[in-house]
Amino acid sequence: MDTRDPLTDFLSNPDFAPHISSVKHISAAPARFASLPPNLDPRLKTALAGRGIESLYSHQRTAWDSAEAGDDFVVVTPTASGKTLCYNLPVTQALLADPDARALYLFPTKALSQDQQAELNALIEAGSLPLKAATYDGDTPQSTRKVARDSGRIVISNPDMLHSGVLPNHAKWIKFFTGLRYIVVDEMHSYRGVFGSHVANVFRRLLRVAAYYGSTPRFILCSATIGNPSELAEALIGRPVRAITENGAPHAEKVVIFYNPPVVDAVQGIRKSSADEAMAIAALFLASGVRTILFARSRLKVEILAAYLNKRFENIFTENSRIRVEPYRSGLLPNERRQIERGLRDGSIHGVVSTNALELGIDIGGLAAAVISGWPGSLASFWQQAGRAGRRKGSSMAVYVATSSPVDQYLIEHPDRFFNATAENARIDPDNPYIYTDHIKCAAFELPFKKGESFGSDPEAVLGFLEEEGTVRNTGGRWYWSDSGYPAEKISLRSATADNVVIINTTNGANEVIGEMDRPSAKELVFDDAVYIHRGKQFIVLKLDIENRQCLVEERETNYYTDAIVKNDIKVLSEDEHLGTDALPIVVGDLLVRSSAEKFKKLRFHTNENIGYGEIYLPPEEMQTRTLAVLFPESAEPGAILRPMAELERAASLAAFCSIIRALAPIELLCDRSDLGATWRVRDDHYGVPAIYVWDQYPGGTGLVEALSHSLGSVLEAAAERLSACDCVDGCPSCIGVAPEAFSTVKRRKAGTASLVTATIRGLGRNGGEAR
């Protein structure tokens, strides 16, 4: 779709134009081609010709040559650059040459698996290739699973199913593992943090089982742009990996627009809601006939914005202006997700509001505009989301709508970071003690461990511990699984717990499952009397039964939504590393965090007005994790700035300091703000001086705290710059936040925080700019 007219309309619209801070035009680029490989199977040439492909993009040919050389490699190119052919060609070539060869395709989501099977089937059908591709995931019917195991030459799955369904039952997959030649890992950049640390251990188990059956498969990985693709790939598979980063695919013109919502309260620096502004922009595009995707930051926001958009177009005489908008998020049932994906491809759905669930490479047809509400957490995610528009051909536009948060306001002031900055590094910690121990259990269940066998950092130390508690037994120099059940079913790759709460609609006597949620999230989102929104419908939670993993809801119309207030208590368990300087000691160690949701707010739709509170009666969650503590001894400058302050003023400055550090850390780390927890202490019980703590929100940590310890100076300099640039009087959401009720009487809160930030930068031995 030609978006020039809607683009011109938007850029000149008097409601929006004054608040557009920057417009960047990305020119179209031609393709760089390479010839088809001379040894390409004639049947594959026919298949490619049937799809109109007579030559390859340069990076596709480089991938072919790497596969021919026997390398493990990772392809790092933008969205819609033809990465699929980088692995489909060498894999199908190998399978056509050897009838016993097999391949495993892994995608991070079931939706992406279904999408890629359709792509692979099209290639197979175009050349009448004698290959069978089969999807094997949690949605695969039992009746077809045996067929996939026995006759699937290419098995398409996800890490979760590999972990809990395939590897524990490897004896049923003898034929497949014996012939396994290739393992394809798509969307590698999504395997970071907790998920990536788990998946690296799943790959250790996969290679162990493959070796048992005599195969040594090679890896082909694909990724969006990140700063350390080779490093991440090597951490995932434990072997050297070649990175292919030169993109030969063409791309159409794209316009990226940076929009900063108007200030509605100049004194407090409060801006108009980014969600409301993003919805208004999406509505303008949809009304102009531009098919649009709107990215929101949470499941709740997705449901609310989709409902608002449908309400905006509501008209029984015009069938809602013949515009249909759907929400897309985790927690939807598989048939609901596929129905929405199909509607986007065939054009019956014109707009979609999504979390990052649609960020990955699912084919959702020819969308022409992407509206991104708030910073998505990384440059890789931003460009993935922006790339959902104009995926096939034709010019497109992406509108980034900033929130009032410090990170968004910092990025609005520095749009060049989107185009010139080096992408963030992805980090994993496969040897996280909690994750590593869990996968040692899984591996011992699958095959006995031999003495001296390699598996991560120190398997024998963990096996010795497991032997003491009766989980394994050592006989004849081998460790055998001796516990009941199989461990993989109790281990989730994506969260701290494998326990999911099922959400059941009981309206008018119904007993219908409408969604599910992990247990920690359920305690903060579907507590008793919470409002749960599902595909635009509102439900009241009647009872959250944590013990039986059930949440009973009933459909009701309300004029508000709910938001839990979470309280954290902490206890230092160890001090492992002392960093920083004498003026600013920094300690990295272990921390016990106890979190509990004790109250919730009722917030009116549209205005977000607080119209009441409610109590939450649920047991707390406990975890041991990694933390970074920044200390402010009174003998040095940062502490000396706090010393003369009254206690309430000191608390307000520390709270604001803590808030802005947590808010801006994602600029340097490949993470979301919610991946980090933070708190402050006027006089810390453990260290005896004022302190702030920042911790990893996953048990045992995933390397974020260690990464922050090395980039804290850069985060502080960004904080100083944000404070200096913000023209509010004494704190606003764009810098240190509006003062909570407890600090409403504190004057010069912003000045105190700015002085503390500047002194802290000097305490680290950096020059840093002065903060105002």
* Residue pointed to by tokens 């970074």: 628
Query: Which pLDDT score is estimated for 361?
Result: 64
Judge whether 265 and 404 are in contact, CB under 8 Å.
no
Q: Kindly report the CA angle at 15 between 12 and 21, in degrees rounded to 5?
A: 70
Amino acid code (one letter) for 25: H
More confident: 702 or 643? 643
What pLDDT digit, counting tens, does each position of 724-739 carry?
Answer: 998 877 778 788 876 7
- CA–CA distance, 154 with 168 (Å, rounded to integer): 20
- CA–CA distance, 371 with 345 (Å, rounded to integer): 19
Q: Would the pLDDT of 369 be above 80?
A: yes
Query: Which pLDDT score is estimated for 495?
Result: 67
Query: Which pLDDT score is estimated for 315?
Result: 79
Query: Which pLDDT score is estimated for 497?
Result: 60
Query: In the chain, count of helices (H) and strands (E)?
Result: 23, 32
**Which residues touch 541 (CB under 8 Å, ≥6 apart)?**
526, 527, 528, 529, 530, 531, 532, 551, 552, 553
Strand partners, 371: 294, 399
Query: Which pLDDT score is estimated for 319?
Result: 73
Query: Which pLDDT score is estimated for 201?
Result: 97
Q: Would the pLDDT of 425 be above 50?
A: yes
Report CA-CA distances (Å) from 589 to 96, 379, 706, 761. 53, 29, 10, 22
Q: Would the pLDDT of 135 be above 50?
A: yes
Transcribe 497-539 into DSSP letters.
-S-EEEEEE-GGG--EEEEEEEHHHHHHHS-TT-EEEETTEEE
Judge whether 303 and 327 are in contact, CB under 8 Å.
yes
- CA–CA distance, 173 with 150 (Å, rounded to integer): 7
Strand partners, 249: none
Report CA-CA distances (Å) from 202 to 209, 219, 447, 630, 721. 11, 14, 14, 35, 43
Closest C-alpha among 516, 501, 593 to residue 547 = 501
Which SS3 state, helix, strand or coil, does residue 371 take?
A: strand
What pLDDT digit, counting tens, does each position of 79-127 carry?
Answer: 878 899 999 999 999 999 999 999 999 998 877 887 888 889 999 999 8
Number of neighbours of residue 379 by Cβ within 10 angstroms: 23
Q: Extract the tokens encoding 424.
A: 């963030």
User: What is the mean pLDDT of the segment spanning 654-667?
Assistant: 91
User: What is the mean pLDDT of the segment spanning 49-72?
Assistant: 96
Query: Which pLDDT score is estimated for 484?
Result: 85
Query: Which pLDDT score is estimated for 1?
Result: 42
The dihedrals phi and psi of 755, each to the nearest 5 degrees, come to -60, -40
Q: Would the pLDDT of 768 be above 60?
A: no
- CA–CA distance, 491 with 485 (Å, rounded to integer): 12
Query: Which pLDDT score is estimated for 740?
Result: 74
| Strand 73-76 with 242-244, pairing | parallel
Query: Which pLDDT score is estimated for 365?
Result: 63
Amino acid code (one letter) for 590: D
User: What is the mean pLDDT of the segment spanning 313-319?
Assistant: 75
Query: Which pLDDT score is estimated for 607?
Result: 77
- CA–CA distance, 259 with 385 (Å, rounded to integer): 16
Closest C-alpha among 127, 122, 121, 185 to residue 153 = 121
What pLDDT digit, counting tens, does each position of 441-479 carry?
Answer: 999 999 999 999 999 999 999 999 999 999 999 999 999
Transcribe 324-353 into DSSP letters.
-EEEE-TTS-HHHHHHHHHHHHHTS--EEE
Query: For all residues of the chain together, what is the average pLDDT?
Result: 90
- Does this model's pTM top 0.75? My answer is yes
What pLDDT digit, counting tens, does each position of 574-614 carry?
Answer: 999 999 899 999 999 999 999 999 899 999 887 778 899 99
User: What is the mean pLDDT of the segment spanning 505-514?
Assistant: 92
Judge whether 466 and 481 are in contact, CB under 8 Å.
no
Q: Would the pLDDT of 770 be above 50?
A: no
- CA–CA distance, 24 with 26 (Å, rounded to integer): 6
Which SS3 state, helix, strand or coil, does residue 699 take?
A: coil
* Residue pointed to by tokens 């749009």: 415
Judge whether 126 and 134 are in contact, CB under 8 Å.
no
Which SS3 state, helix, strand or coil, does residue 758 take?
A: helix
Which SS3 state, helix, strand or coil, does residue 618 take?
A: coil
More confident: 541 or 732? 541
Transcribe 181-230 into DSSP letters.
EEEEE-SGGG--HHHHHHHHHHHHHHHHHHHHTT---EEEEEE---S-HH
Closest C-alpha among 731, 580, 585, 712 to residue 649 = 731
CA-based R_g, the chain, Å: 27
- CA–CA distance, 192 with 209 (Å, rounded to integer): 24
- CA–CA distance, 407 with 388 (Å, rounded to integer): 23
Judge whether 551 and 502 are in contact, CB under 8 Å.
yes
User: What is the mean pLDDT of the segment spanning 691-706?
Assistant: 90
Query: Which pLDDT score is estimated for 753?
Result: 93
- CA–CA distance, 321 with 324 (Å, rounded to integer): 8
User: What is the mean pLDDT of the segment spanning 612-623?
Assistant: 91
Which SS3 state, helix, strand or coil, does residue 625 take?
A: strand
* Residue pointed to by tokens 């350390």: 228
Judge whether 731 and 739 are in contact, CB under 8 Å.
yes
More confident: 670 or 622? 622
Query: Which pLDDT score is estimated for 771?
Result: 37
User: What is the mean pLDDT of the segment spanning 144-171?
Assistant: 94
